[in-house]
Amino acid sequence: MRGKLIKKVCLLGDSSVGKTSLIRKYVYNTFDDAYIATIGTKTVKKELTLEYFGKEVDLVLMIWDILGQKEYRRVQSMSFQGTAGGLVVCDITRKETLDSLRDYWVPELIKIAGKIPLVFMANKSDLKPAFDLSELGKLAAEHGCPYLMTSAKTGLNVENAFLTLGKGLVGGREGAEVSLKVEDSKLSPAEALDNIFSHFVEHYGQETDFAMAVIRKQCIEVGLDIRNPTKGSIAKLIDRLADVEREVLSPGQISKNKIERRNFLLRM
């Protein structure tokens, strides 16, 4: 059984430090030089898979982009409720944004959300720093949390920051024993098929030998030669397995299975 965790995380820090840009870079892989005022809060969702003690965990991050103007204290407090982790962002070209983290943002968050995992981010690291960055390191250390130099413009450490926080959410503050599952390595056709077979067996809910017999039958019917599988024949098999599952699984589970099996095909 795979566990699925849904966690709310917030990006916080002064106006213009790059919160919205970091989210955009991470979720949509785009960077725009235009400032877009965040009104209230905006939420986007991002799913990732982590490995925790050898077990895969699907983590869904509900990412909250918090309004940076300090005058909006009430809106911010409301947004912090139920937050499981924070990405606290300063801008390396403005020292006052680091002071704000220390004096305002982090205390405010902790007051409402408690001692949650945080990742400190020194953003705009593609530009020249205006203060000694070891100060941020010190602040992070005071909270027992990691810090990273990031750039929403070049993408430096953007994904890493979210992953680091994700590890903290799954494995406690240090994220011990959690490693990123390598999802994008190439697969040979046989390896892709091997993954698809075992995925089917795992989700079909029947004895392994019975499930394997179903697979065998479907392979023959779509003309798939396991010594020399082609992309076309694997694609057909994936459709067939979804048809077979109709008798035992819910439509939602079937389409999820199909997407996951297609991902193996895409990695060929």
The contact set with ligand G3D (CB under 6 A) reads 15-21, 33-36, 38, 68, 123-124, 126-127, 151-153
Lookup: tokens for 37: 């005022």
Task: Report the nearest approach of ligand G3D to the CB of residue 13 (Å).
Answer: 6
Order of strands, edge to edge, in the sheet holding 85-91? Answer: 147-149, 118-123, 85-91, 3-12, 55-66, 41-52, 178-180
The one of ligand G3D, Mg ion, none whose footprint includes residue 209, by CB under 5 to 8 A per kind, is none
Q: x/- contact string, 27-66, with Mg ion (CB under 5 A)? A: -----------x----------------------------
> Nearest residue to Mg ion, using CB?
20
Q: Toward ligand G3D, which CB reaches closer, 41 or 49?
A: 41
What does 62-75 look like in DSSP terms, one character per residue? EEEEE---TT-HHH
Those residues with Cβ within 8 angstroms of residue 201's Cβ, 6 or more apart along the chain or in another chain: 208, 211, 212, 215
Task: Report the nearest approach of ligand G3D to the CB of residue 68 (Å).
Answer: 5
Cα distances (angstroms) measured from residue 59 to each of 9, 54, 111, 165, 166:
12, 15, 25, 11, 7
C-alpha 117/C-alpha 164 separation (Å) is 10
14-33 residues near Mg ion, rule: CB under 5 A: 19-20
Task: Report the nearest approach of ligand G3D to the CB of residue 206 (Å).
Answer: 50
Task: Report the nearest approach of ligand G3D to the CB of residue 163 (Å).
Answer: 18
Residues near Mg ion (CB under 5 A) are 19-20, 38
